[in-house]
């Protein structure tokens, strides 16, 4: 472990608010400070932790390093990936991915008890998390609400995530005290279940919530929880898991009544709006009708607009944004085929306001989360459609080079289809669905994508700053690998992790992904071809020559299906005199802030 944080933490920059102070984040640990930082390597927000006095003893330092490496290698989506760790004097430092959620202790103190069905579902999900990650043993007194955050995703689903990684070693145990085979007893989860039912993060006795059973707590579930608390192991463990499964049946009907967690990023934006003399009408909607958690749907100059709120240049310097973001927002009001139009942009102190066209549709990330991954055949069809749209977009003279396109930034425009119900057509997940709806690409960053990060290998990141549209095979492959992986598996693609075969991915295809991943990490300029085309043309090796379609029956690659663009409206959809990006308070800005103050009514 590096004794100085300078080398490990040089990639981070502290994010500052409207007053110039470092943005602090909530923590359930009394001896820990957590700040918001920008990770230059991922173009992403991250959490920077400092635990006072935790590195005073070498054995504590070694124990934390072992456990940090275990957690960093876990890769479960409900567990933040540790990015860096080190020390400064006697203080322990580490950085991890950003969760925009509320610590469970403060959530319970604010929202109260969790319903039985939702508590069962949350604990079942945590059991899955801990079963998939090699954690060290955590004794009962260590597994507590302070280790978790309550998070709400883009679809409005609320769940628990693992948040605090500093306390997983029992009292920062020495190597001799840390078991080789990690195991967490059912009593730990049964105790957490009782805490959720009680709505008290610090109950004197975890069984108190069972003395007067809450509504919906079946007698059998109560008995199985008590058995898990008192005995644990063997039959008690199996009975507890079975009882949780039965209790979670009511979770879907109870979810609409679950209190939404507070979100630090939204609270930060709200405070900064107040500091600079403006305010949003009412509270930020956590998940709007568009699925955008940091945007407000409004009408700007009579046009439907989605106003994205982002950190401004005083919070994050302009050079720390993706070059593609600058190119896509350089000329507001510019209309390009398949590009989601930006029709307003203004820097306002520590905030930047970006008004983008508001369309009726769904993004691929939300749609995959709702309906599940695609079959191989369906993914190949959709890959061809996305590739055709990218070719059309980049062929336009004033279009920027596209290096990054996550599923959340690919929008299926459903408002143009009137022959069939869009939901029914999308559920079919076939070629007819992909060609029925035009595609729109959001090429600029938002606070949501800044939270999730721009995932690119370091050598590819260097190429993104080049002018023009160079290295097309590398550019398209950098988009295709994480996007296609998400379509096929529903999970994030990590450039640092070797690609392994899953139940949905044939071994030969996984090997093809892995070879291209290594190519882009080592020498992207030597990328042989466009991975979109490689994937679309790929045939599973188990198909015999007799079963393969004849070459005459397959269209040439240049004949990939073209994605329809919406018919141009009779009158311009957006006013033609939208100004260039405003760097001082202009009349247009005054008008925008009038709307933000409530003069213009926001509408979904």
Residue 473, CA distances (Å) to 239, 387, 458, 464, 537 in order? 54, 12, 17, 13, 15
* Distance, C-alpha 178 to centroid of its chain: 33
Under CATH, which architecture does the 5-257 domain have? Orthogonal Bundle (1.10)
Query: pLDDT value at position 388?
Result: 96
On whether the CB atoms of residues 456 and 473 are closer than 8 A, the answer is no
Distance CA 316, CA 298 (A): 25
How is domain 264-357+574-596 classified at the architecture level of CATH? 2-Layer Sandwich (3.30)
Q: 78, 38, 34: which is closest to 166 by C-alpha?
A: 34
Domain boundaries, the chain: 5-257, 264-357+574-596, 361-559
Predicted pLDDT at 216: 72
**What is the 3-state composition of the chain as percent helix, strand, coil, each rounded to the nearest 5?**
40, 15, 45
Burial of 547 (0-12, 13-18, 19+ CB in 10 A): exposed
pLDDT for position 92 = 85
Cβ neighbors of 22 (< 8 A, separation 6 or more) are 14, 15, 16, 35, 36
Question: What does the chain come to in residues?
Answer: 604
Compute mean pLDDT per 10 residues along the chain, 604 residues long, and list them. 51 88 84 87 89 79 73 71 84 88 94 94 90 55 80 88 61 40 68 89 66 74 85 75 90 90 87 68 43 78 84 83 89 85 87 89 88 91 95 92 96 71 69 80 93 91 91 97 96 90 87 97 96 94 46 35 36 29 36 37 36
Same fold, 5-257 and 264-357+574-596: no
Q: Please check whether the domain covering 361-559 is classified as CATH 1.10.510.10.
A: yes
Look at residues 459, 455, 445, 451 and name the one whose alpha carbon lies nearest to residue 318.
Answer: 445
């Amino acid at each position: 472990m590096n004794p100085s944080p300078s080398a490990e933490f040089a990639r981070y920059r502290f994010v500052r608010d409207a007053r110039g102070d470092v943005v602090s984040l909530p923590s359930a640990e009394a001896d820990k400070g957590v700040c918001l930082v920008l990770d230059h390597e991922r173009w992403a927000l991250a959490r920077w932790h400092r635990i006072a006095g935790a590195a005073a003893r070498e054995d504590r330092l070694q124990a934390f390093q072992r456990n940090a490496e275990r957690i960093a290698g876990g890769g479960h989506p409900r567990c933040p990936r540790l990015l860096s760790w080190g020390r400064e004097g006697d203080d322990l430092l580490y950085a991890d991915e950003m969760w925009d959620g509320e610590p469970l202790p403060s959530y319970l103190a604010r929202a109260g008890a969790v319903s039985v069905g939702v508590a069962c579902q949350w604990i079942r999900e945590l059991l899955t998390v801990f079963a998939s990650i090699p954690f060290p043993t955590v004794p009962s007194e260590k597994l507590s609400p302070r280790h978790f955050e309550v998070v709400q995703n883009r679809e409005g689903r609320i769940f628990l995530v693992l948040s605090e990684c500093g306390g997983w070693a029992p009292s920062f145990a020495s190597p001799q005290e840390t078991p080789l085979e990690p195991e967490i007893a059912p009593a730990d989860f049964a105790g957490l279940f009782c805490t959720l039912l009680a709505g008290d993060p610090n109950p004197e006795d975890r069984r108190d919530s069972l003395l007067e059973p809450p509504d919906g707590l079946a007698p059998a579930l109560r008995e199985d929880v008590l058995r898990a608390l008192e005995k644990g192991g063997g039959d008690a463990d199996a009975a507890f898991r079975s009882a949780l499964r039965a209790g979670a049946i009511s979770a879907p009907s109870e979810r609409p009544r679950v209190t939404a967690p507070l979100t630090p990023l939204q609270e930060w934006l709200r405070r900064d709006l107040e500091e600079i003399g403006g305010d949003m009408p009412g509270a930020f909607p956590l998940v709007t009708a568009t699925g955008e958690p940091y945007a407000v749907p409004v009408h700007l100059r009579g046009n439907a607009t989605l106003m994205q709120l982002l950190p401004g240049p005083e919070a994050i310097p302009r050079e720390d944004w993706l070059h593609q973001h600058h190119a896509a927002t350089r000329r507001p009001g510019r209309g390009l085929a398949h590009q989601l139009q930006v029709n307003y942009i203004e820097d306002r102190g520590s905030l930047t306001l970006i008004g983008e066209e508001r369309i009726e549709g769904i993004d691929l990330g939300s749609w995959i989360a709702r309906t599940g991954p695609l079959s191989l055949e369906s993914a190949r069809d959709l890959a061809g459609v996305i590739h055709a749209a990218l070719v059309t977009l980049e062929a336009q003279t004033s279009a920027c080079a596209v290096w990054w396109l996550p599923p959340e930034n690919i929008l299926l425009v459903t408002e143009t289809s009137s022959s069939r119900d869009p939901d029914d057509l999308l559920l079919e997940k076939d070629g007819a669905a992909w060609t029925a709806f035009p595609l729109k690409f959001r090429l600029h960053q938002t606070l949501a994508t800044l939270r999730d990060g721009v995932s690119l290998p370091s050598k590819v990141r260097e190429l993104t700053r080049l002018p023009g549209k160079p290295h097309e095979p590398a550019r398209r492959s950098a988009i295709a690998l994480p996007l296609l992986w998400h379509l096929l598996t529903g999970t994030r693609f990590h450039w640092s992790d070797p690609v392994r075969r899953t139940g949905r991915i044939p071994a030969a295809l996984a090997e093809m992904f892995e070879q291209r991943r290594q190519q882009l990490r080592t020498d992207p300029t030597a990328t042989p071809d466009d991975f979109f085309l490689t994937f679309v043309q790929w045939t599973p090796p188990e198909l015999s020559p007799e079963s393969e379609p004849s070459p005459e029956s397959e269209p040439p690659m240049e004949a990939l299906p073209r994605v329809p663009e919406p018919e141009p409206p009779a009158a311009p959809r957006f006013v033609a005199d939208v100004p260039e990006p405003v760097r001082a308070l202009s009349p247009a800005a005054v008008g925008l802030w009038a709307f933000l103050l409530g003069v213009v009514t926001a509408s979904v």
